[in-house]
C-alpha cells in the first residue's frame, strides 16, 4: 500500500483521460453493436447513453493497492502487444497508460470447490465505480490482467457485462461455449449468464464494464 493522496488531486490530465476513454469506449461498443445479433436491451441502452454519462473524479483514498510485482511484466507486455489498429483503440490504450498507474488493483477470491491458482495470477484495476478513479452510477469499469496459462473461473452476476478484449485469450459464455474473440473484439454477457475466460501462452488483458441500469 502506498499513499496516493498527492497523485489524486483533480488533475486536468486525469479528467481529460477519463473523458477520452469514455468517448473511445462509446465508439468501439457502438461499432460492435451495429454488427452483433441479439444484443441484450440493457447493453444497447447503456451504450447509447454512455457518451453523455458524467464521470466525476472520485475522492482520493489514503492508500491504493498496487499491482503485485509478479504481474507488472504481464501488464507491460500486454499493453505493448495490444491492438492499435483503429483510432478508438489507440485512444483507449493512451488513456489507460495515464490512468492505470494510479488505479487500485483488487483480486477476486476462489469460490467453494474452485481451483484457487488464478487468485495470485490476476488483478482488476478499477477505473469507475466503487474504489475506482471516477464515479459513474451506471458503470463499473475495470481492467483485467491475467498471467499466461491462467483460467478465471466460471461465475455469474446480476449486472450485464461487456469486455473490450485487448489481447489473445479465450472467453466462455454458457450459450456459446469457449471462443477466441481476438484482440480488439467485444464480448457481451447478458444479466446472470455463466461466463469465464482463460489465457494461453500470453497474458490476457481486457477492459470490462458492469452495467447498472438507473
Ligand atoms: Fe463477470
- Tens of pLDDT, residue by residue over 139-183, are 999 999 999 999 999 999 999 999 999 999 999 999 999 999 999
Cα(186) to centroid of ligand 1, in Å?
14
Q: CB–CB of 121/74 below 8 Å?
A: no
- Alpha carbon of 195 to ligand 1 centroid (Å): 7
Domain count, the chain: 1
Domain assignment of residue 104, given as a range: 2-211
Compute the distance from residue 6 Cα to the ligand 1 centre, in Å.
32
Q: How far is the CA of 89 from the centre of ligand 1 (A)?
A: 22
- Residue 10 CA, ligand 1 centroid: distance in Å: 30
Residue 178 belongs to domain with CATH number: 2.60.120.10
Give the Å distance between the CA of 36 and the centre of ligand 1: 20
Query: Do the beta carbons of residue 189 and residue 36 sit within 8 Å?
Result: no
- For CA atoms 109, 115, 121, 124, the dihedral sign is negative
| Residue in the block written with cell 477492459 | 207
Contact 165, 183 (CB under 8 A): yes
**pLDDT for residue 43:** 86
Task: Give me the residues of the chain with pLDDT under 50, please.
Answer: 1-6
**Any idea of the CA torsion for 35, 41, 46, 49, to the nearest 10 degrees?**
80
CA 197–ligand 1 middle distance (angstroms): 9
Cα(51) to ligand 1 centroid in Å equals 23
Calculate the average pLDDT of the chain: 91
pLDDT value at residue 59: 75
Residue 114 alpha carbon to ligand 1 centre in Å: 15
The reported pLDDT for the residue numbered 5 is 46
Question: Whole-model pTM?
Answer: 0.92
Environment class of residue 116 by beta-carbon count within 10 Å: exposed (0-12), middle (13-18) or buried (19+)?
A: exposed
Distance CA 138, CA 36 (A): 22
What pLDDT does residue 91 have?
Answer: 97
Amino acid at each position: 500500500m502506498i499513499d496516493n493522496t498527492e497523485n489524486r488531486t483533480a488533475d486536468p490530465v486525469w479528467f481529460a483521460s477519463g473523458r477520452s476513454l469514455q468517448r473511445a469506449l462509446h465508439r468501439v461498443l457502438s461499432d460492435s453493436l451495429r454488427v452483433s445479433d441479439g444484443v441484450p436491451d440493457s447493453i444497447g441502452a447503456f451504450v447509447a447513453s454512455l457518451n453523455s454519462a458524467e464521470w466525476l473524479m472520485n475522492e482520493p483514498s489514503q492508500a491504493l493497492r498496487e499491482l503485485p510485482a509478479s504481474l507488472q511484466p504481464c501488464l507491460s507486455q500486454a499493453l505493448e502487444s495490444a491492438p492499435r489498429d483503429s483510432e478508438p483503440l489507440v485512444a483507449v490504450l493512451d488513456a489507460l497508460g495515464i490512468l492505470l498507474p494510479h488505479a487500485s488493483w483488487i483480486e477476486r477470491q476462489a469460490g467453494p470447490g474452485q481451483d484457487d491458482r488464478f487468485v495470485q495470477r490476476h488483478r482488476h484495476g478499477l477505473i469507475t465505480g466503487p474504489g475506482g478513479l471516477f464515479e459513474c452510477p451506471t458503470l463499473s469499469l475495470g481492467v483485467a490482467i491475467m498471467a499466461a496459462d491462467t483460467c478465471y473461473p466460471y461465475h455469474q452476476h446480476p449486472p450485464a457485462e461487456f469486455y473490450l478484449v485487448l489481447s489473445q485469450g479465450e472467453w466462455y459464455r454458457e450459450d456459446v461455449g469457449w471462443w477466441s474473440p481476438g484482440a480488439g473484439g467485444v464480448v457481451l454477457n447478458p444479466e446472470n449468464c455463466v461466463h469465464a475466460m482463460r489465457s494461453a501462452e500470453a497474458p490476457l488483458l481486457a477492459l470490462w464494464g458492469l452495467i447498472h441500469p438507473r
